[in-house]
Amino acid sequence: MGIETEYGILVPGDPAANPMILSGHVVNAYASAHGVRSGRASWDYADEAPLRDARGFEINRAVADPSQLTDIEDPTLANVVLTNGARLYVDHAHPEYSSPEVTNPRAAVRWDRAGELIMLEAVRRLADRPGLPPVNLYKNNTDGKGASYGTHENYLMRRETPFADIVRHLVPFFVVRQVICGSGRVGIGQDSRTPGFQLSQRADFFEVEVGLETTLKRPIINTRDEPHAVADLYRRLHVIIGDANHADVANLLKLGMTSLVLALIEDRAMTRDLTLVKPVATLHAVSHDPTLATLVTLRDGRQMTALQLMWEYHDAAAAYLEARGLGGNHQTDDPDTAEVMRLWADLLTRLGNDPASCAAELDWVAKKQVLEGYRERDGMDWSDARLRAVDIQWSDIRPEKGLFHRLAARGMVTSLVDPADAQSAVTDPPEDTRAWFRGKCLDKFPGQIAAASWDSVIFDVPGRPALQRVPMLEPERGTKAHVGAILDRSPDVVTLLRELDAAAG
Q: Comparing C-alpha atoms, which of 246, 128, 130 is closest to residue 181?
A: 246
Residue 38 confidence (pLDDT): 42
Look at residue 17 and tell me whether its pLDDT is greater than 50.
Answer: yes
- Tell me 505's DSSP state: -
- Tell me 48's DSSP state: -
Look at residue 439 and tell me whether its pLDDT is greater than 90.
Answer: yes
Residue 39 confidence (pLDDT): 40
CB 154 within 8 A of CB 236: yes
Residues 418 and 443 in one domain: no
Residues 411 and 469 in one domain: no
Q: Is residue 206 part of a domain?
A: yes
- Tell me 470's DSSP state: E
Look at residue 71 and tell me whether its pLDDT is greater than 70.
Answer: no
Q: Give residue-wise pLDDT tens across range 162-181.
A: 999 999 999 999 999 999 99
Q: What is the 3-state secondary structure (H, E, C) of 148-192?
A: ECCEEEEEEEECCCCHHHHHHHHHHHHHHCHHHHCCCEEEECCCC
Residues 283 and 322 in one domain: yes
Residue 78 confidence (pLDDT): 84
Residue 74 confidence (pLDDT): 57
Q: How far is Cα 214 from Cα 433, in angstroms, rounded to an integer?
A: 27
Tally of domains in the chain? 2
Residues 479 and 384 in one domain: no
Q: Which structural domain, as residue segments, surrounds residue 272? A: 2-423
Residues 154 and 275 in one domain: yes
Q: Is residue 428 part of a domain?
A: no
From 44, 74, 91, 391, the catalytic residue = 91
188 backbone dihedrals φ, ψ, rounded to 5°: -115, 140
How much is the average pLDDT of 193-215?
Answer: 92
Look at residue 161 and tell me whether its pLDDT is greater than 60.
Answer: yes
Catalytic residue status for 204: no
Beta bridge partners of 43: 452
Residue 197 confidence (pLDDT): 98
For 242, what's the count of Cα atoms within 13 Å in the CB-facing half-sphere? 27
Contacts of 6 (CB under 8 A, 6+ apart): 91, 92, 94, 95, 96, 149, 150, 151
Residue 214 confidence (pLDDT): 67
Q: Is residue 261 part of a domain?
A: yes
How large is the angle between the packed helices 335-353 and 105-127, nearest 10 degrees?
Answer: 80
Q: Give residue-wise pLDDT tens across range 20-60.
A: 999 999 999 999 998 775 443 466 666 666 667 777 657 66
How much is the average pLDDT of 320-346?
Answer: 85
How large is the angle between the packed helices 480-488 and 435-444, nearest 10 degrees?
Answer: 20
